[in-house]
Amino acid sequence: MPGLFRAYVAKRTRIPTYFIESTAPDNVDDGPVAATVPEQLSQMDANDAIKDIADYLSRADKPNLVVMVHGYNNPQQAVLELYARASATIEGDSKISNRQGLVCVGYRWPSEHILQPWRGTLTALPTLLSWILGLALILATIYLLLGRLFGFTTHPIGGHVLIMLALLLAGIVVCGAVLRIVVYFRDSYRATNYGSPDLIEIIRQIDDKIIRNDMSRKKVDRNTATNDRREHQVTLSFIGHSMGGYVVTNAIRVLTDLFANDDVSRRPYLNTGVVSTTELTKPKPNIGDVFSVMHLVLASPDIPAEALLSNRANFLASSLRRFREAYLFSNEGDEVLRQISTMANYFSFPTKSWKFGFRLGNVDILSSDYGVVTTPRGSFLAMIRTGYYALQEIYNKLRTRRQEVAGFHTLQDKLPETFSYFDCTDYVEPDISGRMRGVLTFALKRKRHNPKATMHWWSHLHLLLSYLIWQKPNVHGGYFEGALSQQLIYRLACLGYRDTVAAYGGLPQFSAACSEKQVRVLLSPLL
């Protein structure tokens, strides 16, 4: 993989921990940028990193590869520091660090900081926008000259029309420039065209190297090595934050061969009326020659909530149902998704109402209790709200409007049950003085008396301004700052549900730990 990736290894760790980043540039006409390597990491050749990872997994009795993927608005240095902290946290958790056969990989795709591309705003301006900007300047100049010469005493309306037209044309260009420097669409492009393909290549290279190791060790051909490996598979788990959740799910969708003869029904997610929902088998978890996908942990994913209800072959459904366990960490006050992401997607997301189109990272659980929440029979969807509506309400409204004609059913209500939900809206941790403070929001506990209560608009505005000015509370990335949230995320990804619960001493103790920090948990009925 010459030139495609850079790799780093964490120093002095019991768990082999690597950090691999794509060298795809921020701009297509840029070259790769050198990074300042954090003290906890050492740079190494990417091919050597792949070889070391594959060698370790080949020898392990219970090989397990966990890959962590960052989100939007994360420049190179910030990602390396985040992964270095993640490695230290995992090393400090004896329940994880004593696990044999575990390898952790932090993957970076090319993301950049908000405002970073401002220097190229004028030089990258398309020709048409340049003409529009030039016309606006000409009209403004004419307005100023005529105003100075004649004062618009004879034709005041003409002067108003002239300056309004100039401002309108300039506003079009300014709007495009603002959308550029907030980097949302630039990151989205890179996540789709660089992030997912490069992650696929990394997994493919590890897969190929493990098979080659088995062929060399056992002195067999590739088919025999592949069949043997199916009896001793490498489990593959992911942690995806924000837009990194899209990178992960899209990569898994591409890696999966949906058309293999030994796989599931050729239409596993779309019920055409010919095959009933109950007859559709769960897709196999096999990826490539050696991997079996196991745990998926999404923290504040930038994915439309409606994807949970679509019965079409969307990227979330085709990926999610292959994992044995899936977990969603979210909070009602994630203003990055609730305000910034929905505003950016206003131009592209196909909806007629602002009440649709909220993201999975805004999911909250409709309960006044903390800890593991009891779900009344048949009300799982009614317990989960995303933005304005509960999932059950979204399902009912969409179903009514589509009216399911001719036996084609475009909606489903079972996919949401794949997730276990962790609502961190009121999540608190002690500060340096020992006082409990909100980690992701101000922890106002709106649901104390009414489980369906929502945050007021002024609370959302307060959170947004606090985040933009001081980055406190960290409404979008605070999951990787709190002690309990980090412990839960890393344990669930590395150990899975049963071993995570056992690490706390049982389900009551697990629930109590979450309740103490005001985290609501809605467990998947599939666990």
Express as a percent the part of the chain with pLDDT over 90: 55
| pLDDT tens per residue, range 422-448 | 999 999 999 988 899 999 999 999 999
DSSP classification of residue 338: I
Average pLDDT, rounded, for the chain? 87
Return the closest-CA partner of residue 166 out of 125, 137, 123. 137
Q: Quote the pLDDT of residue 277.
A: 42
b/e code 440-470 from CB counts within 10 Å (16+ = b): bbbbbebbeeeeeeebeeebbebbbebbeee
196-218 and 46-59 helices, crossing angle to 10°: 50
Q: Quote the pLDDT of residue 375.
A: 85
Q: Quote the pLDDT of residue 382.
A: 93
Counting other chains too, the contacts that 335-339 makes at CB distance below 8 Å and 24 or more residues apart are 335/460, 335/463, 335/464, 335/467, 335/475, 335/476, 336/242, 336/300, 336/467, 336/475, 336/476, 337/242, 337/300, 337/302, 337/361, 337/362, 337/476, 338/362, 338/387, 338/460, 339/460, 339/464
Q: Quote the pLDDT of residue 402.
A: 64
| pLDDT tens per residue, range 19-48 | 999 999 888 888 767 777 878 889 999 999
Task: Give the count of beta carbons closer than 10 Å to the beta carbon of residue 260.
Answer: 11
* Cα(60)–Cα(55) distance, integer angstroms: 9
Express as a percent the part of the chain with pLDDT over 70: 90
Per mean pLDDT, which range of 88-102, 243-257, 462-476 is the poorest? 243-257
How do the domains of the chain map onto residue ranges? 5-114+188-424+479-522, 116-181
**Cis peptide upstream of residue 473 (ω within 30 degrees of 0):** yes
Higher pLDDT, 412 or 428: 428
| pLDDT tens per residue, range 360-385 | 999 999 999 999 998 887 789 999 99
Higher pLDDT, 527 or 229: 527
The two three-digit tokens of residue 404, written as one number: 């399911």
Q: Quote the pLDDT of residue 305.
A: 86
Give residue 311's pLDDT band: very low, low, confident or very high (50, 70, 90): confident
Does position 455 have pLDDT exceeding 80, yes or no? yes
pLDDT mean over 47-53: 96
| pLDDT tens per residue, range 264-302 | 444 444 443 433 444 445 677 888 889 999 999 999 999
Q: What are phi and psi of 41, to 5 degrees?
A: -120, 155
DSSP classification of residue 516: H
Q: Quote the pLDDT of residue 405.
A: 57
- pTM for the whole structure: 0.91
Q: Quote the pLDDT of residue 345.
A: 82
Q: Quote the pLDDT of residue 155.
A: 61
Q: Quote the pLDDT of residue 416.
A: 92
| pLDDT tens per residue, range 325-348 | 999 999 999 999 998 888 878 878
Q: Quote the pLDDT of residue 262.
A: 47
* Cα(137)–Cα(148) distance, integer angstroms: 16
